[in-house]
Amino acid sequence: MARTVVVKVGTSSITDDEGVVDRALVAKLCDEVAVLRSDDIRVVVVTSGAIAAGLPALGMGGDRRPRDSVTLQAVSAVGQGNLIGTYQEALGRHELVAGQVLLAPLDFFVRAQYLHARGTLMRLLELGVVPVVNENDAIADDEIRFGDNDRIAALVAHLVEADLLVLLTDTPGLFTADPRLDSGASLIEEIIEIDHEMERLAGGTGSTRGSGGMASKLAAAKIAAWSGVPSVIADAKREGVIVDAVAGTPGVGTVVRAREGRLGARRLWIAFAVGSSGQVSVDAGARRALEERRVSLLPAGVIGVDGRFEAGAAVEVVDPDGTVFAKGIVRHDAAQLRTIQGSRTSELPDGVSHEVIHADDLVVLPR
């Protein structure tokens, strides 16, 4: 049985139609957390809902919900206190202590911040605390535009070396078709490998209260799988859903198996959690070298540049056929890279980096 579990719950699973935090739904979640804690299973809760919880207080609930990111960030600052207070009250009824942890994307990307975050979470677990994690919406940049915590939950699962990631949503799991449109759709109970067909089935975004959908859950499960953590995607309203997921009860949801290999945190971030700003095309020889020897990408192997990006951006690496096979953090902006593509190292101007993408910043993607 799993000894450390990360449970992610979305906005729509803990709020009503007006965006008000539903204490009964939070209490149900915390009741199940208490059952696991009584069996000495450590639990981290990753929760959405700060923005939705702040909307009513500012008279912005329902159809009045703002769309611009700056206002949403401000609203989250109002809602976060109410959200964590509800968790503290619900867990307190079981004599459990909740510890609020607010994370931002760079906490997983900058090594020093990653180690600090990991140290804090691990110590909280050692103290018997239930960490309640949320994205730091009030200061987040890229992540606020995605509006969900699914990927952060997957990265937290890697960070605390979890044995299981439970992704709670408003459906029983991934179906063979949209059950709202196809009465013959059936639940996919197990996924060995997430492929393009699975991603197609996942579809688009979710409800108006939480913009994460099944596609986001599947993307998070993929991150977890590549960090060696299995996942369960299940219905938050199912009675005993978390306990059943941990126990491996058949039919509890869609189980996504972990891969045998385990990517490090930085490579996980590059591969799955940061968006691509462009593409760098390489010749066949460069592809072989990157895949077989895991070396840095040099200008000599570059045959094309697509997009407008700055140094430090994430880019996809494609072969002559246009197949994406790697992703990395580029050391040149697009304009400069176009001027030096195909050049040997000895031909580069002074002061120009000899590497397009350093080996430490490059990930060969799963096929």
What pLDDT is attached to residue 141? 61
What pLDDT is attached to residue 91? 98
Assign 153 to helix, strand or coil.
Answer: helix
Rounded to an integer, what distance in angstroms lies between the CA atom of residue 206 and that of residue 216?
9
> What domains does the chain contain, in order, with CATH numbers?
4-265 (3.40.1160.10), 275-364 (2.30.130.10)
325 membership: H or E segment, kind and range? strand 324-329
pTM for the predicted model, two decimal places = 0.81
Rounded to an integer, what distance in angstroms lies between the CA atom of residue 40 and that of residue 179?
37
The CB-side HSE value for 131 (13 A sphere, CA atoms) comes to 30
pLDDT, block means (10 residues), the chain with 367 residues: 90 79 93 97 94 85 82 89 93 97 80 88 97 83 56 91 95 84 86 80 54 78 91 95 96 92 76 84 96 94 96 95 94 96 93 94 83
* Rounded alpha-carbon distances, angstroms, from residue 252 to 236, 240, 248: 11, 9, 8
Tokens describing residue 321? 């056929």
Q: List the helix and strand counts (H, then E) for the chain.
A: 14, 13
What pLDDT is attached to residue 366? 67
- What would the pLDDT profile of 59-94 be if each residue is shown by its tens digit? 887 778 888 888 988 998 999 998 999 999 999 999
What pLDDT is attached to residue 107? 78
